[in-house]
Amino acid sequence: MKFENILEEIDGFGPFQIIIIVLLCTPRIVLPCHFLLNNFIGAVPPHHCDFSTLDDGGLFRNLTQEQQLTVSLPVGGDGDPKSCEMFAEPQFQLLSNSSISTDLPTVPCQNGWVYDNSTFTSTLATEWDLVCEKKSLPKTTSTIFFSGVTMGAIAFGFLCDKYGRKNTLLASYLMAMVFGFSSAFANSYILFAVLRFLTGFALTGISINSIVLSIEWVDTGHRSFIGVIGSLAWSVGNMLLAAFAFMVNDFRTLVMTVTAPLGFAVLTWWWIPESARWLLANGKVERAQFYLDKCAKFNKRPTLSTTMKLGANEIEILEKKDRNYTYIDLIKTPKMRRLTLLAGIMWYGVASTYYGISLNISGFGLNMYLTHFIYAAIEVPAKLMIYWLLNIIGRRKCQAGTLLLTGICIATNIFIPKGLWHVRAVVAILGKGLSEASFTTAFLYTTEFYPTVVRQNGLGYSSFMSRVGVSVAPLILLLEDIWTLLPQIIICTVAIISGLVALFLPETLNVRLPETIDDIEKPRRNDAASQSAESAGVFLESKNTTDT
């Protein structure tokens, strides 16, 4: 008997599964708050050199603020004072003829900078003067954070398959809390960057486990519902981040604010069940029996002691041949190797595209809070749309289609004049929604085409590839200093290539989850037919038992 048959008899989508979704909502709300936090803590407010050292009293002190700026700072090509240069001494002649300012000698800022605190009371830039020659460091912080996420994907992919989903989830909660709060008290940029790296490392365990625990407890017919509707917690967290950042203008307080909900997540962890599918695959039959009986009780179905033991023994025999699965098993056999390669390329494109758009929240004529909120809000209809399409046209076409359309939106914005900012904003928002739809599909799709015995390893590898894409995204955005359109061209190309690659992945709509690597390697032409026959057999057996 297959695990899906067991779930059907105890109700693969009942109150028990709904409770799991609810319990995992809080940690999933925290994820986008940290993943996109750098949009706000890494913001660089308007600034100019601190010219207070030029104030020697007399005439300078009697000038207005605007006149002091005129005689102290050179003017750039946009007509605003330059942010990284100042005059060595006051140029009072500019009060009568400001046009000669470009010919006067300047020096780098001598006494730090003065920042506009009207939007932020403090950010990484204002705290450690990460401007001018250090202006790339705020965005680099995002790359450092996602480098931690990348390493966490490797580590937790292995740990989750070896020690279980529930135990590693608790470890992720505690580590993320400790490193998150600690980073708020960092007294140097280097220490802050290290702690952000470790925070990203810990949060990956939450990201991987929350989706897998949800998917592995539901039947085939409701996998897309759990994968899509459950991911709405991410969108809620994304919208909340805009609200938190608007109300909390100090970067240290903001970091603590978005980390605090993990305390509640730790309290709710006790009610989260271990994956019975993982327990069976690892020979822990009695523990799996406990959780399945609990599921049956919550869903008001009879316990399945006899039937359960039969199914457990079948799975146990299959897995005794090779109990210790590692990342090497992803590339040992031909079809697994091909699947792994295609999945890695797809995930790199999905993540690089999503974060390439999400981390660029300027240039559309709206303030950053509103842009971020709209970018987050568009994810809700995008998820609902993809939920409807997943069960109509399938996973593969949805994955490829959303990536290709995202690339088209980015390409379209390249040719729209900046003066038409409202049109550019609409196209960008549409592209953001499509990129989120591709991300949502990818999470569900990946859990379905990897077999149970290496599913966490597969997700860990896929997460690693996606985080490589995420880590590179902030660096790609820095290329606008070389050519303004270069970041958009790169992100557009990546989206289109990864969309084409997704067309070569297997379709998983209404197909039972593979349990072993043999399920991938052996021909599955009759899989749907055998599944239908097997389900019919279980139904008849259940009916006969009821009649007697």
Reduced 3-state DSSP string for 34-82: HHCCHHHHCCCCCEEECCHHHCCCCCHHHCCHHHHHHHHCCECCCCCEC
Q: Which contacts of 531-534 are long-range, i.e. CB under 8 A and separated by 24 or more positions?
A: 531/4, 534/2, 534/5
Half-sphere exposure of 116 (CA within 13 A, CB side): 9
Tell me the pairing of strands 106-108 and 47-49.
Answer: unpaired
Whether residue 85 contacts residue 106, with contact meaning beta carbons closer than 8 Å, is answered with: yes
pLDDT at 2: 67
pLDDT at 117: 86
Give residue-wise pLDDT tens across range 210-240: 878 888 888 877 776 776 677 788 889 999 9
pLDDT at 100: 59
Lowest mean pLDDT among 38-52, 80-94, 175-189, 294-308: 294-308
Q: Is the pLDDT of residue 58 over 70?
A: no
pLDDT at 445: 86
**How confident is residue 102, by pLDDT bands cut at 50, 70 and 90?**
low
What angle do helix axes 137-163 and 25-35 make, rounded to 10 degrees?
150
Mean pLDDT on 80-85: 83
**Of 90 and 260, which is predicted with more confidence?**
260
d(CA 277, CA 236): 29
**How confident is residue 243, by pLDDT bands cut at 50, 70 and 90?**
very high
Mean pLDDT on 141-156: 87
**CA nearest neighbour of 515 among 280, 262, 334:** 280
Give residue-wise pLDDT tens across range 502-530: 999 988 887 877 878 888 887 554 444 44
Rank 75-84, 129-138, 258-267 by mean pLDDT and report only the highest. 258-267
**Of 252 and 136, which is predicted with more confidence?**
252
Per-domain boundaries in the chain: 3-44+133-502, 48-115
**Of 316 and 459, which is predicted with more confidence?**
459
d(CA 4, CA 523): 20
pLDDT at 177: 96
Report CA-CA distances (Å) from 140 to 11, 42, 130, 195, 254. 48, 9, 11, 14, 19
Give residue-wise pLDDT tens across range 391-432: 888 899 999 999 999 999 999 988 888 778 788 888 888 988
* pLDDT averaged over every residue in the chain: 82
Q: Is the pLDDT of residue 533 over 70?
A: no
Give residue-wise pLDDT tens across range 328-377: 888 888 888 999 999 999 999 999 998 888 877 665 556 888 888 988 89
Mean pLDDT on 18-45: 90
Q: Is the pLDDT of residue 271 over 80?
A: yes
**Of 11 and 16, which is predicted with more confidence?**
16
Q: Is the pLDDT of residue 469 over 70?
A: yes
User: 3-44+133-502 belongs to which homologous superfamily?
Assistant: MFS general substrate transporter like domains (1.20.1250.20)
pLDDT at 318: 41
